[in-house]
Amino acid sequence: MLKVAQIDYIRYEVNQKGETYANVARRMEIDPRTVTKYANQEEFNVKEPQKRISRVMDPVKPILDKWIKEDLKKKKKNHRTAKKMYEQLVKFHSFKGSARSVRAYVSHRKKEIKEYIEGAALPLEAIPGTAQVDFGEAPFKYLGEVIDLPYLVMSFQNSNTFYFQVFPSENTECLLEGLQRMFRHMGGVPNTIRFDNLSPAVKKIKGKGERSLTDTFERFVLHYGFQYEFCNPGKGNEKGHVEAMVKYVRNNFLLPECTITNLDEFNSTLWKVAEDDRERPHYLKHVLQSELYKEDQEAWLILPEKSFDCTRYEQVKADKYGIVSIDNKEYSTSPRFARQKVRVCITYNSITVLNEDHEIVVTHHRLYGVRRRSMIWQPYLDLLSRRPKAIKYTSLYDQFPYEWSKYLRECTEEEQKAALRLLGSLLKNNDFTLLNEALRIASAHGHPNTDQIKHCFYSLLNQSNSHAAITPRFRVPTMPDASRGLTHYDAFFQEGGVAR
């Protein structure tokens, strides 16, 4: 095609000066027919390209588009091939075209859709199926006092909707547990999620916008397949929607202080709170937010069948007492692990100590707040049975049911040794249910010895009634009350008192 200046020259030479087409063509070294065309052309408007109609392919293009978009939500190994799409068109839609036409269209459309998605990821806030995530903090009433707890918010700007869950901390395990709960409740995964530079996800911010992520967060992302984005340092406005939603959640649902007795039960009520809130018009689009939320749902990735194990494993060394330190909190293991390395499994609400065969030694509730040590005495019972006088310097009685605390206090030193050995062999996972019942039955006729308690325990365990035979065979005369155990020796040491 000639340039504008060349066309102007032709029209001037031919139409204004009267030159022949041939002379102008000779001077410009072009075909005379080209000179004739531009000299006499009346219309110079840009014509829109004519759409080529394909009677065979056009009816099935929407079907192929739908299949391609569905496949992009799945893992690549589960995508349909162009050949498979052709076979489905022939079988279910009476397609009469060629496999070559289907392959060409599928290849072209996949490139177009991928380019659109990659380009659309830049203005994140306006795209259905994307989300933003951040923590907020609010006061709660717990055990009679007011404490501040973090809550995790996931917001969807397209629909102006959200979900949120309350946690005891903002650590990695709480972040991933919260995200996974939301994914499972939603039944899908946002295709792109924008975060602030949360320490549970980002270990270090490098140059040129690169980040070093925590190992658990990286594996979580791979498991669920979403794309992640992080705000630039000091640019919290880049996730302005979730910032506003954190404030909205606090003001509308968490103030004044909510009372919590069981955190899991409280969190289970928050799904309906969020879903009821979306039954209102969008502030700009004037459409119900619940309807816009359906657009988000349609754009989500498919949820994997298996859940992610939101745990962290560490190998730590116990001190001389068998105590390990996790995140500046102390947890007991067992005396046999003193000065030894042990493996611990860490979740958002538990710390589990494992032996060399990966068997559970003891499980603690994970500590948060001011409390620094969790002590489970069960693994220490055998050691204490050899040093019963050390019991009063421990918190052992505080961890036992009242029946057993009372029984041990009434025991002589030798009886205490036997009772602690019995508990060490029968107590599993700090479950005193059968042991409490066995002690109650064995105590029906006075202070029992360990053999009687053991007999009652196995009788209950095996669901027999042989313990009913434990009755005195002779008449016991009435005796004055007597105190048992070592407590009466305390009188020797009481201020101004001497045992009488």
pLDDT above 90 for 310: yes
Name the band, by pLDDT with cuts 50, 70 and 90, for residue 275: very high
Q: For 107-121, 184-198, 313-327, 437-451, which range has the lowest pLDDT when averaged over its residues?
A: 107-121
- Which CATH superfamily, name and number, covers 125-299? Ribonuclease H-like superfamily/Ribonuclease H (3.30.420.10)
| Closest to 486 in 3D by CA, of 399, 392, 395 | 392
Residue 45's pLDDT is what? 54
Strands 341-346 and 312-317: antiparallel
Residue 122's pLDDT is what? 44
Q: What is the pLDDT of residues 373-391, one digit of tens each?
A: 998 877 888 777 877 777 6
Average of per-residue pLDDT values in the chain: 85
pLDDT above 80 for 467: no
pTM greater than 0.75 = no
CATH fold of 312-376: SH3 type barrels. (2.30.30)
Name the band, by pLDDT with cuts 50, 70 and 90, for residue 213: confident
Residue 123's pLDDT is what? 46
Euclidean distance between CA atoms 418 and 319, whole angstroms: 28
Query: Which range has highest mean pLDDT (2-6, 119-123, 266-270)?
Result: 266-270
Average the pLDDT over 443-462 and give the result: 91
Q: For 15-24, 62-71, 76-85, 468-477, which range has the lowest pLDDT when averaged over its residues?
A: 468-477
Residue 234's pLDDT is what? 52
Average the pLDDT over 56-75 and give the result: 86
Name the band, by pLDDT with cuts 50, 70 and 90, for residue 323: very high
Euclidean distance between CA atoms 438 and 431, whole angstroms: 13
Average the pLDDT over 153-176 and give the result: 95
Whole-angstrom CA distances from 310 to 29, 171, 173, 303, 313 are 76, 12, 6, 16, 10
Q: For 3-7, 49-53, 76-80, 230-234, which range has the lowest pLDDT when averaged over its residues?
A: 49-53
Average the pLDDT over 290-309 and give the result: 94
Whole-angstrom CA distances from 279 to 158, 219, 286, 289, 483 are 15, 36, 12, 6, 69
pLDDT above 90 for 274: yes
| Closest to 372 in 3D by CA, of 323, 426, 335 | 323
Q: What is the pLDDT of residues 96-117, one digit of tens each?
A: 999 999 999 999 888 887 776 6
Residue 2's pLDDT is what? 75
- Residue 98, phi then psi, degrees to nearest 5: -100, 155
- Give Cα 210 distance to the centre of its chain: 24
pLDDT above 80 for 121: no
Query: Percent of the chain beyond pLDDT 70?
Result: 83
Query: Percent of the chain beyond pLDDT 90?
Result: 47
pLDDT above 90 for 158: yes
Owner of token pair 């924008």: 194
Higher per-residue pLDDT: 24 or 166 = 166
Average the pLDDT over 237-244 and give the result: 78
Residue 214's pLDDT is what? 86
Three-state SS annotation for 224-278:
HCCEEEECCCCCHHHHHHHHHHHHHHHHHHCCCCEECCCHHHHHHCHHHHHHHHC
Residue 91's pLDDT is what? 92
234: left (phi over 0), alpha (psi -120 to 50) or beta: left
Residue 230's pLDDT is what? 86
Residue 206's pLDDT is what? 67
Owner of token pair 């140059």: 207
pLDDT above 70 for 246: yes
